[in-house]
Structure 1
Amino acid sequence: MFSFFNKTSIDLSELQQKLDMKSEIIDVREKSKFQAGHIPGAKNIPLSKIGSYSLKSEQPIYVICQSGLRSRQATKILRKKGIQAFNVKGGMSRWSGAVRGGKL
């Protein structure tokens, strides 16, 4: 049985609420995809480099990619490092909020 405290994913509506709290968002897509359009304030750390990420605060981070598959992998990697990370289900392909950069 799953516990609320073991939750590792959030949906896009939950992420929208977190944006109001200035939460940290990591976009694990490659640089070209990130530059084509991303959530304002998101940091680009491609999945291939996520293993070297080091947390700068105790706040949770939210990990997003295009569909939610790579962000799920990245979330697992970060959690093994003791970082409170959450996968954003649906990814940028379903994001309807503000976008910086090009169009998706």
Structure 2
Amino acid sequence: MSTAAPNVDVTRAVDMLGRENVRLLDVREDDEWAAGHAPAAEHMQLSQLDPRAFTDAGTVVVTCRSGNRSSKAAATLVEAGVDAVNLDGGMKAWAQAGHPLVRDDGTPGTVA
């Protein structure tokens, strides 16, 4: 049985991201990322997730489209000793709360 990572809502995640040593990791597929992502997010597909890339990361807030894949990714990180939490509701909740989504070229994005 895997270790579950704590869930945080969008408000808590945004508060956390305002602090030093907190990173936002988006584990969606390339096409989903290209359609729109949080401006400060880093991208690593779930299938490519390497916990070693986050061993000195402080806290990692993990997101996907709805929170399902990111829950698995956050649990994988927690099992590897990383301080990770799952963004409950994912990028859908992020967008519904009115937070920005951008494409790589800086234009407004959407949740794919």
Show the 5 A alignment for 1:71-82.
71-82=70-81
Alpha-carbon distance in 2 for matches of 1:82, 1:56: 7
What's the counterpart of residue 100 of structure 1? 102
Which of 7, 10, 13 pairs up with 1:9? 7
2:53 partner SS: coil
Q: Percent identity?
A: 29
Show the 5 A alignment for 1:54-93.
54-55=53-54, 57-93=56-92
Show the 5 A alignment for 1:23-62.
23-51=22-50, 53-55=52-54, 57-62=56-61
Native 8 Å contact 1:51 1:77 kept in 2: no
2:73 partner SS: helix
The runs of 5 or more residues in structure 1 that have no matched partner are 1-5
Alpha-carbon distance in 2 for matches of 1:42, 1:83: 17
Alpha-carbon distance in 1 for matches of 2:57, 2:35: 30
Alpha-carbon distance in 2 for matches of 1:64, 1:7: 12
Superposition RMSD in Å: 1.9
The runs of 5 or more residues in structure 2 that have no matched partner are 104-108
TM-score normalised by length of structure 2: 0.79
1:54 partner SS: helix
Deviation at 1:94, TM superposition (A): 1.5
Q: How many correspondences in the alignment?
A: 99
Alpha-carbon distance in 1 for matches of 2:81, 2:51: 13
AA aligned to 1:41 is A
AA aligned to 1:103 is T
